[in-house]
Structure 1
C-alpha cells in the first residue's frame, strides 16, 4: 500500500505534517550526520509503505529520530501512536491490552531502504486535523495509570503557545539535545512535535551521562537548548563537566528547587526554565526558577483555582481539564503560584506541611543520594503513616531521622524510614506509587526499618502521596 496524505476530497485542508519552507534545512542530527527535511520526508514515506494494516501501534523506538520517523509514518497511514509511560513489560502489556489488535514498532522498523536523494517532486503531506495522532499514558505516579487521546489538530494547537514562549527566549532557530525519552509528553512535545512545527533541529540521541551530554551538544549548531529533568541536572551539576555554550535549559517532570537552579545557571552560564504541564494538557506554564515561585501561563491558557485543584481552559480545548494541583493567583490574575497537590497536604494537630516540602528536606540532608517520602494506605484510625525510602550508603536511619528532625516538626517524621540500594525511577525520574508501596511492604533483604520516637503521634491526613519530589 502506498502512503498518501490523509485527506479525503470532502475534508478541509488539514494541518501540514511539517511547517518548513526549505527542503534542505536541517531537521535532525542522526548517527553523525545532518538529516534534511526532504530526507526525513522521504524516509517517512518509505517506512509508511511497509507498515502493516492496523488501527494503532505502540511506538517503542528508543532513538529519537527513529521514533519521529515512525510517529509521522503512522500518522501518514492513519494509525494512532500509542505512547506507554515506560518501556517496562508491564507498562507495554497494559497499553496493548487496552488496544486489542495494535502492533508494536521499534527502531528496527524505522530502518528504511537507503535514501540518497529525495524523490522529485516531494509534496508536503497534510494530515486531517481530526485524526487521533497519539494516545499518551500516565505512569501511575499519583494513582492508577490512565490513557489520554489527542487529535493532530489539538496537539498542534496545544503546542502553539509553548512554541511562542520558546521563540521569545531563544529565537526561531535553535538546536535541541534531550535526556528525556520521546514517549513522555515533555519529551514528545519539545523534541518531536517542536521540530515538526518550527525551524528547530533535534539530536537523535538521549544522552544521560554528563560526558555524553557534552558530546551531543558539541555536535549541534548554536544556539543550543538542553531539555532535561531535575534528576539529570543534579547529576550534571555534581559532575563539574564543562558543556558547550547553551542558550538555555528546559526542565520538567519534577519540581526544580531554586538552589539547584542557581547552581546550574552559575556553572553552565545559561538560564534554566521550568515547564509545568500534564499528560492531559501538554505544557501550560513556565517560569525561570531563580526568579521566584510565580508561573506564567502559556499564551492562550487560563487557570482557575478550586478547592480540589485547578481548572485549565483554552479556546482550542473541547472542554476544560481539572488538575490536582492547588494554585494561588497573583493580584493581576495573570500569574499563579503552586501550593501543592490536595492529596499532598498533611494536617496534623493543627499543623500543615506538604510531602513535597518533606521530600526537599530529605534530599537536602548531606549523604542522602536519593529519597522519597509518601503516605501509606490508611490503617487503624483511618489515617496512613508517612513512610520514606532513602538511598544513603554512608548514613544509618537514626542519623537521617535526626537530621530531618532539625528541619521539620516531629509529627511529620516518616515511620518507617527504610534504606534501599536504589529507587525504581523510570526514564524521567518518576516513581510509580504502587512500586514504592510494594517495596515498603515487602521488607526486601538488605533493607532496614527504623520507627520514629514519635510513632505514637497521628500520622496526619492525606490521600495518595506524590511519587517523588515531583509535579506532573
Structure 2
C-alpha cells in the first residue's frame, strides 16, 4: 500500500482522511511539538491521538500511555519521567504542568511519511494496576506493525475496507492496537470517536460509510444486548479485557446479529491469539506466534513481533496443535475447605446471573468468600442462582449491594479501587481482598 495515496485511513469529524492526508498532518504537528523526551498522549479524539503519536515518533519522543487519566496517576508516573509534557485537546486541570494543545489539523494536503526509527521505543504503556502498581512496557513501531499485520491476517480482515469502531480509549493497549495500529497497517479505517451509550453506538454503526467492526468489552456488550432496535451495518464484533461468557456471547449473537470473537493478549505481549467464543474453547495463536513451555513450567510467547520471548502471567494448557486454554493465575486461585476455584470463573458466573448487572467476588481476611454486586435481587436469590454452577463452599457468605462498581474505561477493576470500595462499605468488618484479578489484556 502506497502511504501517500488517496486510500481512506480515517473518518475524522465526519470527513474521510486519506493516508496521504495523515502523513501531512503528522509532519506539520512534528514541527510544532515542544522539544522534550516524553509526552503523555492524552488526546481523546482517536485521529488526533494517532497523529500526535506518530509526530512524537518523528521527533524521537516517547509517548507515555498511563493506565488511567486521573491526574494523580499521571503525576506519579511523571516522577519517573522528568521532562515529560502533556499533549491533549484542552488544558489539564492541574496548574503548573507543561502541556501542548493538540488542535485539529487541516487534513487537506498529501505527503509521504517522515523518517521514523522503526526499531526505537515509541510507546511506553503501563499495565492497568489490577494486580498492584502499574508497570511500564516499552514497544517500538515495528512491534506494533508486525503485530497488527499478524492480527488482521489471522482474523481474515487484512484486505477488507471496514470501519474500526472502538469503545476503549486509545491509551489502553487493546484500544491502541485495534483502533489505531490495525487501520494504520491494513485497509481498515480508523473512526475518531468513542461513543459510550448503546444507542449512540448503534446509530454510529448504522450511519457509518462502511460496514463496521466493533471492538468492545464484555461490560459494554451487557449494555448493548438490552437494545430493542436492529443493528444494521455491523460486520463483526471483537471483545477483550475480560472473559466473554458463552451466555453473553450467545445473547450478543442473537441481538446484534454477529458472533463475537475474543482476542487475547496483555500490555507486555500485545494481542497474539483469538477464538470465536460460541465455537471454540481453546485459543488459536496468530500465525507467527507460538507458546512454549519453559523449564519452570511457565509458558512463554515466541513471536515475530517480540524481540525476545515473554513469559505469560497466566497458567495455560497447550494442546498438540499449539492451541491453549487459560487456567488463570496462581494468585487468582482460591482454596476453601480443601477445594480450589478461580476468582475469574466465580466472577463470570456471578455476572451471568439474570438480574445481576455487575459483580465481583473476593476473599475476606477470615478466609470466607464474599461479593459486591449491582443488582435488584436479594442475597438469597443470588446464592440460589449460583448454586447449580458453584460448589457450596464457594457461595458468597456475605453480599454487599452497591449502585456501581468503580471499573475503569475498559471494564477492569483495579486492586486499589476494590480495596477502597470494601473499606468504604464496611471498615468495621475489616474486609480485605487477598487475591487480585488478572491483568489480562
Length-normalised TM-score, structure 2: 0.90
| Residue 390 (1) aligns with residue 381 (2) | no
Q: CA deviation at 1:46?
A: 1.8
Query: Which 10-residue stretch deviates more, 64-73 or 261-270?
Result: 261-270
| Residue 60 (1) aligns with residue 51 (2) | no
After superposition, residues 53-452 of structure 1 pair within 5 angstroms as 53-108=35-90, 109-112=101-104, 114=106, 117-118=108-109, 122-166=111-155, 168-169=156-157, 171-305=159-293, 309-330=298-319, 332-376=320-364, 379=365, 384-392=367-375, 394-443=376-425
Q: CA deviation at 1:170?
A: 6.6
CA distance in 1, matches of 2:16, 2:162: 14
- Where 2:283 maps in the other structure, the secondary structure is strand
Deviations 1:73-110 (A, max 9, x none): 11111111110112122322222222111000012533
Unaligned runs of 5+ in 1: 1-18, 452-458
Task: Judge conservation of contact 1:308–1:342 (CA < 8 Å) in 2.
Answer: no
Larger Rg: 1
Deviations 1:96-150 (A, max 9, x none): 22211100001253315645x316xx33324112221100011111232111011
Task: Judge conservation of contact 2:159–2:186 (CA < 8 Å) in 1.
Answer: no
Deviations 1:296-339 (A, max 9, x none): 00111111346774211124423221222111122x23211112
CA distance in 1, matches of 2:411, 2:180: 20
Task: Judge conservation of contact 1:248–1:271 (CA < 8 Å) in 2.
Answer: yes
Q: Where does structure 1 differ by over 6 angstroms across 4 or more consecutive aligned residues?
A: 448-451
Deviations 1:451-470 (A, max 9, x none): 9xxxxxxx9xx963316xx8
Number of the residue aligned with 1:5: none
Query: Which 10-residue stretch deviates more, 154-163 or 394-403?
Result: 394-403
- Where 1:148 maps in the other structure, the secondary structure is strand
- Say if 1:341 and 1:375 are closer, same or farther in 2 by CA, change over 3 A: same
Task: Judge conservation of contact 2:149–2:186 (CA < 8 Å) in 1.
Answer: no
- Say if 1:403 and 1:243 are closer, same or farther in 2 by CA, change over 3 A: closer
Task: Judge conservation of contact 1:305–1:326 (CA < 8 Å) in 2.
Answer: no
- Where 1:127 maps in the other structure, the secondary structure is coil
CA distance in 1, matches of 2:425, 2:237: 40
CA distance in 2, matches of 1:22, 1:124: 8
RMSD: 2.6
CA distance in 2, matches of 1:227, 1:46: 30
CA distance in 1, matches of 2:239, 2:361: 22
Query: Which 10-residue stretch deviates more, 268-277 or 299-308?
Result: 299-308
After superposition, residues 448-463 of structure 1 pair within 5 angstroms as none
Task: Judge conservation of contact 2:243–2:348 (CA < 8 Å) in 1.
Answer: no
Q: CA deviation at 1:209?
A: 1.2
Task: Judge conservation of contact 2:163–2:210 (CA < 8 Å) in 1.
Answer: yes
Number of the residue aligned with 2:15: 33
CA distance in 2, matches of 1:254, 1:75: 31
- Where 2:63 maps in the other structure, the secondary structure is strand
Length-normalised TM-score, structure 1: 0.84
CA distance in 2, matches of 1:284, 1:240: 34
Query: Which 10-residue stretch deviates more, 96-105 or 350-359?
Result: 350-359
Q: CA deviation at 1:21?
A: 4.6
CA distance in 2, matches of 1:465, 1:374: 8
Task: Judge conservation of contact 2:161–2:210 (CA < 8 Å) in 1.
Answer: no
- Where 2:327 maps in the other structure, the secondary structure is strand
Unaligned runs of 5+ in 2: 91-100
- Say if 1:32 and 1:304 are closer, same or farther in 2 by CA, change over 3 A: same
- Where 2:225 maps in the other structure, the secondary structure is helix
Number of the residue aligned with 1:455: none
Number of the residue aligned with 2:93: none
